[in-house]
Amino acid sequence: MTIWGALAGGFIGTLVLTTALRAANELKLTRIDIPFLLGTCVTVNRSRAKALGYLAHFVFGELFALGYYGLFVALGTSSWWLGALFGLVHGMFAGTALVNILLPVVHPRMGTNLTSAPQSALLEPPGFLLLNYGVVTPIVSLLGHVLYGVLVGGFISFTS
């Protein structure tokens, strides 16, 4: 197991996850746009928000890959299927606590269930499992995160 395998897997995994979510958005399966969601934390400029959001998503993808690596090292083993399990947990965390508890605390432009009509929010809150962005969103997000985990776990196992 090498840290380089984790970083390579994190990059490829994030690329696949981001592409899957973007494709699902373009196919009208979901309205979620993770880079936009992340980027609007720091700017109201929509184009800049997307660019900064993609950068942030890749940075977070690498950080999560390092977290996976730490778990694999602690367990003394790595595999694609264990990575898939980590990805499932990661996806559940992202669709529940991350976007509904942690992100609204730091996101100045996200609405909440406490936002009133006179207050205008740039983004609607994602809701449990991102359901406010469409009923297929949780499925696409979870599958994308599982695939991310498979790739991170596979790259780490391959570099053992």
pTM assigned to the model: 0.90
The answer to whether position 126 is within a domain reads no
Please check whether residue 45 is in contact with residue 67, taking contact to mean a CB–CB distance below 8 angstroms: no
Q: How far apart are CA 94 and CA 117, in angstroms?
A: 27
Partners of 110 in the β-ladder: 123
pLDDT in single tens digits along all 160 residues of the chain:
899 999 999 999 999 999 999 999 999 999 999 999 899 989 989 899 999 999 999 999 999 999 999 999 999 999 999 999 999 999 999 999 888 888 878 887 887 666 654 555 567 788 888 999 999 999 999 999 999 999 999 999 998 7
How far apart are the C-alpha atoms of 124 and 111, rounded to whole Å? Answer: 5
- Give the angle subtended at the CA of 125 by the CAs of 123 and 130, to the nearest 5°: 115
Give a yes or no: residue 121 inside a domain.
Answer: no
> By three-state DSSP, how is residue 35 classified?
helix
Instruction: Please give the tally of structural domains in the chain.
Output: 1
122 in a structural domain: no
DSSP-derived secondary structure letter, 10: H
Q: Does some domain include residue 32? A: yes
d(CA 55, CA 18): 11
Predicted pLDDT of residue 24: 96
- Asked if residue 129 is part of any domain, the answer here is no
Domain that residue 37 falls in: 3-111+134-158
Asked if the structure places residue 86 within a domain, the reply is yes
Structural domain includes residue 81: yes
Phi, psi of 32 (to 5 degrees): -70, 140
The number of angstroms, rounded, from the C-alpha of 15 to the middle of its chain's C-alpha atoms is 11
CB 68 within 8 A of CB 16: no
